[in-house]
Amino acid sequence: MKKILNIFSVLLLFTFSPVAAGDITKGEKKFKKCKSCHMIVDDSGTTIVKGGRNGPNLYDISGRVAASIDGFKYGESLATLGKSGFVWSESEFIAYVADPKKYLVDKLDDKKARSKMSYKLKNDADTLNIWAYLESLSE
């Protein structure tokens, strides 16, 4: 009974925690949507998730400068954003993944901005969970 109560209070804590945090386990499952184009490989070269090469490695994306994976051919617009020193945070990541092209058009204030990422994930809850998963993998 005590154990059940403990589990219950942990659940309560999660439900009412003021900052909405993503669910790592759900995020890991939803990463399926990304891995056709994105791998996750840590700094020592160990593969965490085998994925496609169409997109850049997403390891340690939290706080990473945009378009900064060596050897990946980024589109001009994302590269421009990266050169400004822009780093990925949770809210920017969610907005970007929902519509990369529109995101870059708005961010760079350039109607001609283009994205090499053609995929859109318009479910912010899923994207938040994916962010939590990716964040959980870095040190």
Binding site for ligand HEC (CB under 6 A): 33-34, 36-38, 54-56, 58, 61, 66-67, 69, 74-75, 78, 88, 93, 96-97, 115-119, 121, 130
Q: Smaller CB distance to ligand HEC: residue 45 or 51?
A: 51
Cα–Cα distance for residue pair 25/5, rounded to 1 Å: 23
Cβ atoms of 74 and 67 closer than 8 Å: yes
Q: Smaller CB distance to ligand HEC: residue 22 or 55?
A: 55
Q: Smaller CB distance to ligand HEC: residue 6 or 106?
A: 106
CB of 39 to ligand HEC, least distance (A): 11
Q: Helices in the chain by DSSP H: which ranges? A: 2-16, 24-30, 76-83, 90-98, 100-108, 124-137
CB of 75 to ligand HEC, least distance (A): 3
Residue 105 class from Cβ within 10 Å (0-12 exposed, 13-18 middle, 19+ buried)? Answer: middle
CB of 118 to ligand HEC, least distance (A): 5
In DSSP terms, which residues pair with 87 in a beta bridge?
A: 65
